[in-house]
Amino acid sequence: MPSVFIQDDAVRRAKQGILYDFVAPDGSESRDAADVIHARFKEFNKGIRSSDDYLDFKLSVEALSGGTNTVILDDRGLPSVMVLLPKMDSANLSNGLESRIHPGFIVDGKVHDTVAIGKYVSYVRDGRAYSMPYRDPANMYTFDESVSFCRDKGKGWGIVPLSLWSAIALWCKKNGTMPEGNTNYGQFNDDATSCAPAAEVDKDGRTMRTLTGAGPLSWFHNHRWDGIADLVGNVHEWVSGFRFCNGELQIIPNADAMNPDCDLSFTSDRWRAILPDGSLTYPGNKESLKFDYVKYPDRNADAFYGDVNGRWVVSQTVTSDQEKKKGGCIREIGLADGLKEAPQILIELGLFPERLPTGAPYGNDIFSGPNWGEEFMPAMGGQWYDYTYWCGGIFRHSSWYERSLQGNTYGMRLAYYNL
C-alpha cells in the first residue's frame, strides 16, 4: 500500500517547479498530467512502461494533495488516482454509537489502517475500470460487469462496498461537508453556479453526465480539492455487500466483498441477514430485520421519491403490498412496534438515522426500492435528474433494480485494499 505521507523527493520536485500541474492552488485544473498519463493507455498492449511519466504523475498528485491522494497502478501498469482514507471509529462518526472500527475498514477479520477509494467515478477501457479526471463516467453496465471491471485489475482492487461508502457519508455528515453534485442536468439542484461541463447531453441539449472531477469544491466530499469527487448525482454508483430481498436487509459482513474470492452472486453462501441485536443469521430467518412500508394517509398513493407517500420502518415482517417501488427519506426511517432500538450496524450502513443528532442534517436523501421480489442491488448517490424529486445526496440509496440492469444513470467506483 502506498505511503500516506509525501515523499521527500516530491517536495523537492514541487519546489523546483518541475511537476506536472494536477490541481492548482487557486482551484483551476490543468490537464497536463492527465494528458500525459492518458497516453499510457495507448501503450499497454505493447508492454511499454513509461515509468518516468508515472513517477512524475504520482509525485505530483501526492505533493499537491499533501499526501492524501496517490496514484496506484493495476497489474497492467496503468494508473488510477485514489484518495487515501485512514480507518475510522464508529463512535467518532456518529453520536451514540459504541466505539469500534467501522466495518468499511475490515476484510475477513483484518483491520486495514488505510484504504483507498477512487477519487473519480470510474470510466472503463479494455475491460478495466480507472479513476481519472475529465472523463465521461462509465454507464450501461450491469452490477456483475461493474464488479468484474474493478476486480480484474488485480489483487486488492474491487468495487466500493456499501460499508466504505457509508463510512464516508457519516464522516461528511459529522464534519458538515455534505457534498453537492450534478443532481439537476449539470448543476446542483437550483444553483446554476454549482455546475460542471457536460460529458453528454440529451436530445434537448440538456446536460446529462458531467466530466469527472470537473465540479466546484462543494462537489468533493470534504469541500477541498484533495477530496473524493462526485459522490452525489451524475450517476448512481453500484456498490457491493448489500441487497434487498423480499424486504429483508441482507449483507456480506464488513468489507469482505473486497476479497476477490468472495462470491457476490445471487446464490452465494456469503449473504447474511441481521437480527434485532445486530448479530447475523442466514437469509430467510423469520426473526431477521426487514423494511416494511407505512403509507401517509394524506399523500398521493402513486407518489414516491422526494414527494414520498410513506416511510420505511424496520420490522420483522412485511405487510405492505406489492404495488410499486417505494421511497422514503432516511431521516424518517422508524421502528415497528415491538422493536426497541435499531442495531448499530444499520446506522453504520446508512440504513437508519442516527441515535443522536450529529453534524449536518440528512436532507431529503431517500432509500428507494421494492420490498418484494427476490433480489434488488444497491447503488448510491443519485443521478443527474434527482432534483426533480428532491431526493439526491450522499445517503441516497437505490436498491431499485435487479443486478442485470443496464442504464445510462448507473456507474461504478474503484476501491483498493492492501490484501
Nearest Cα to Cα of residue 394 among 160, 91, 110, 115: 160
Is the pLDDT at 166 greater than 50? The verdict is yes
pLDDT of residue 363: 86
* pLDDT top residue among 390 and 295: 295
- pLDDT given for residue 26 in this prediction: 37
The better pLDDT of the pair 286, 6 is held by 286
* Residue 105 pLDDT level (bands cut at 50, 70, 90): very high
pLDDT, tens digit, for every residue of 255-311?
Answer: 999 999 999 999 999 999 999 999 999 999 999 999 999 887 665 554 444 446 788
Report the pLDDT averaged over residues 385-410: 90
25 — pLDDT class (breaks 50, 70, 90): very low
User: Tell me, what's the pLDDT at 395?
Assistant: 97
Per-residue pLDDT for 5 more than 60?
no
d(CA 80, CA 123): 10
- Please write the tens of the pLDDT for every residue from 346-368: 999 999 999 998 889 998 899 99
Asked if residue 46 has pLDDT above 90, the reply is no
pLDDT > 90 fraction of the chain, expressed in percent and rounded: 73
Query: What is d(CA 140, CA 130) in angstroms, rounded to the nearest whole number?
Result: 16
By the 8 A CB rule, do 104 and 164 touch? yes
Q: Tell me, what's the pLDDT at 54?
A: 80
Rounded (5°) CA angle 368-369-374: 160
Mean pLDDT of 170-175: 98
Q: Which of the residue ranges 344-348, 370-374, 405-409 would you say has the lowest mean pLDDT?
A: 370-374
Answer whether residue 47 shows pLDDT above 50. no
Chain position carrying cell 422508524: 334
Task: Give the lowest-confidence range in 23-27, 69-73, 154-158.
Answer: 23-27
Residues 406-417 have pLDDT tens digits of 999 999 999 999
What share of the chain in percent tops pLDDT 70? 83
Distance CA 352, CA 23 (A): 37
CA nearest neighbour of 223 among 394, 19, 31, 21? 394
SS (H, E, C) 241-309: CEEEECCEEEECCCCHHHCCCCCCCCCCCCCEEECCCCCEECCCCCCCCEEEEEECCCCCCCCCCCCCC
Q: Confidence class of residue 19 from pLDDT cuts 50, 70 and 90?
A: very low
- pLDDT of 36 > 60? The answer is no
Mean predicted confidence (pLDDT) in 319-340: 86
Residue 386 C-alpha cell reads as: 434527482
**pLDDT band at residue 12 using 50, 70 and 90 as cut-offs:** very low
Crossing angle of helices 51-65 and 8-16, rounded to 10°: 90
Helix-then-strand count for the chain, H and E: 7, 26
Q: What is the pLDDT of residues 121-139, one digit of tens each?
A: 999 999 999 999 999 999 9
Task: Look at residue 16 and tell me whether its pLDDT is greater than 60.
Answer: no
The overall average pLDDT reported for the chain is 87
Q: Is 43 exposed, middle or buried (0-12, 13-18, 19+ CB in 10 A)?
A: middle
Q: 127 is written with which cell numbers? A: 475491460
Pick 21 or 99 by higher pLDDT.
Answer: 99
- Predicted pLDDT of residue 50: 59
Question: 366: closest CA among 288, 303, 318, 272?
Answer: 303
In this prediction, residues 389-413 reach a mean pLDDT of 92
The amino acid sitting at 67 is G
Nearest to 75 by CA among 159, 150, 164: 150
C-alpha 53/C-alpha 69 separation (Å) is: 17
Residue-level pLDDT at 39: 54
Confidence at residue 402, expressed as pLDDT on a 0 to 100 scale: 96
Q: 158: closest CA among 302, 259, 60?
A: 259
202-247, pLDDT tens digit by residue? 999 999 999 999 999 999 999 999 999 999 999 999 999 999 999 9
